[in-house]
Structure 1
Amino acid sequence: MSENQSSIAQTKTSSLSSSMAKFTIPSPLKFLVSNIKQIVTIQLNNENYAIWRLQTLKLFSTNGFEGYLTGSQTSPADESSADFRPWKLVDQNLVSALFSTISPGILPYILNLTTAHEIWTTLEGRLQPTNRSRVIQLKNELHNVTMGDNSMQQYLAQVKSIVDNIAAAGSKVETEDILHYILNGLPAVCSSLVWNKIGT
């Protein structure tokens, strides 16, 4: 290496070290990484993508990191620039945060991906069904849901989960209809008592 090339390399290294020394992890990033599993309350699997996406995107957006998922916060083109390492540090922290919310069955899809944006778009492509067919499927589930051997609390939680997934897929169910589905799914004795009470 010539003296001139050595001087240039030393200058770049010095500049990079200086920029990293000045860089501190932003407080919103610390908050997101520390609390993501408390805020994103489910692990992503093949059945709950809509809710997982809604919770995750809301958390990232609230803390100013939505662009790392959507791709609007792009990597600096020059990897030797002073801006690249801070960007990469933030992005890799976000990647780790995402991994912590994903079930083992989904991880093989994304293990070889390197950025939060790549992970986000890959999961979207694999797991997001067309909204219309998803809504039809979920409303059919809601129509057929029954209490069975569940406790009342478990039954109502199941209904709520279906309704939440319908909302996340871009549709909604009226409150009156939800009550109707809940009552229809109760055991016959309970359902008759409730309907008789309503009719009096």
Structure 2
Amino acid sequence: MAASSFPETPDVLLSSICDFIPKRLESSNYFIWSRRMTTLFTAHGLLGYVDGSIKPPEKFALTERGEPTTELSQGYRLWRRYDAGVKAVINATLSSSALPHVIGSDTARDAWLALERRFTSMSNFNITKLRSDLESITKGSDSVNVYVGKVEEIRTKLALGFSVM
């Protein structure tokens, strides 16, 4: 893979990640976090590192006869740098309770899949709970504005959850 085919460096993202992703990933906000992260990576040409579409090039440099050497290829070194940058961006947006789920992930893709496996099942539980909350909500002594606000909040959370699934 030629250096010119690589997207903009993830260093820019690392320097200002908190501006883009103000809330760290926790058990209750996976779908919102995931949507923000995929939008951010898409905007910077880096989504392929988490969705698997940017594959690593040949790991080892080749001799003039096309035989592998023990030296890492320039393309692979550059790919690893970008992948590590994307993984660092992911790690920078995780809460202390989410971070252990990516320890041991070799690539950004591995980290992304580990988080997806962990939090998708929890989010499915949250969607079931939100449905139940929506069905059981009552106005009670709340004003109409407060009641409608509660219904809209649950509806928005449900819409976000279903749009990512």
Question: TM-score over 0.5 for the alignment?
Answer: yes
Q: CA deviation at 1:125?
A: 0.9
Mapped partners of 1:96, 1:124: distance in 2 = 17
The reply on whether 1:82 has 2:63 as its aligned counterpart is no
- Which amino acid in structure 2 is aligned with residue 43 of structure 1? R
Q: CA deviation at 1:117?
A: 0.2
Q: Would the aligned equivalents of 1:43 and 1:101 in 2 still touch at CA under 8 Å?
A: yes
SS of the counterpart of 1:170?
helix
Measured against aligned partners, the alpha-carbon deviations of 1:18-38 in whole angstroms (never above 9, x if no partner) come to x9xx89x96463332223221
Q: Would the aligned equivalents of 2:28 and 2:123 in 1 still touch at CA under 8 Å?
A: no
Change (3 A) 1:146 1:123: farther
Which residue in 1 is equivalent to 2:52? Answer: 71
Which residue in 2 is equivalent to 1:176? Answer: none
Structure label with greater radius of gyration:
1
Q: CA deviation at 1:165?
A: 2.8
Mapped partners of 1:48, 1:122: distance in 2 = 16
Q: Would the aligned equivalents of 1:75 and 1:87 in 2 still touch at CA under 8 Å?
A: yes
1:116 aligned residue (77, 89, 108): 108
Q: Would the aligned equivalents of 1:43 and 1:52 in 2 still touch at CA under 8 Å?
A: yes
Mapped partners of 1:145, 1:53: distance in 2 = 28
Mapped partners of 2:20, 2:86: distance in 1 = 15
Q: Would the aligned equivalents of 2:9 and 2:82 in 1 still touch at CA under 8 Å?
A: no
Write the mapping of 1:51-70 to structure 2, written as runs, cut at 5 A. Answer: 51-70=32-51
- State, as a whole percentage, how many aligned pairs show the same letter: 27
Q: Would the aligned equivalents of 1:110 and 1:122 in 2 still touch at CA under 8 Å?
A: yes
Which residue in 1 is equivalent to 2:91? Answer: 99
- Which amino acid in structure 2 is aligned with residue 111 of structure 1? I
Measured against aligned partners, the alpha-carbon deviations of 1:60-93 in whole angstroms (never above 9, x if no partner) come to 1121111100111112232421201111111111
Q: Which runs of 5+ in 1 are unaligned?
A: 1-18, 172-200
- Considering fraction of residues, name the structure with more strand: 2
The reply on whether 1:30 has 2:14 as its aligned counterpart is no
Q: Which runs of 5+ in 2 are unaligned?
A: 61-71
Mapped partners of 1:94, 1:29: distance in 2 = 6
Which residue in 1 is equivalent to 2:28? Answer: 47
Give the number of aligned pairs. 145
Aligned-residue RMSD, C-alpha: 3.3
2:132 aligned residue (113, 137, 140): 140
Q: Would the aligned equivalents of 1:44 and 1:102 in 2 still touch at CA under 8 Å?
A: yes
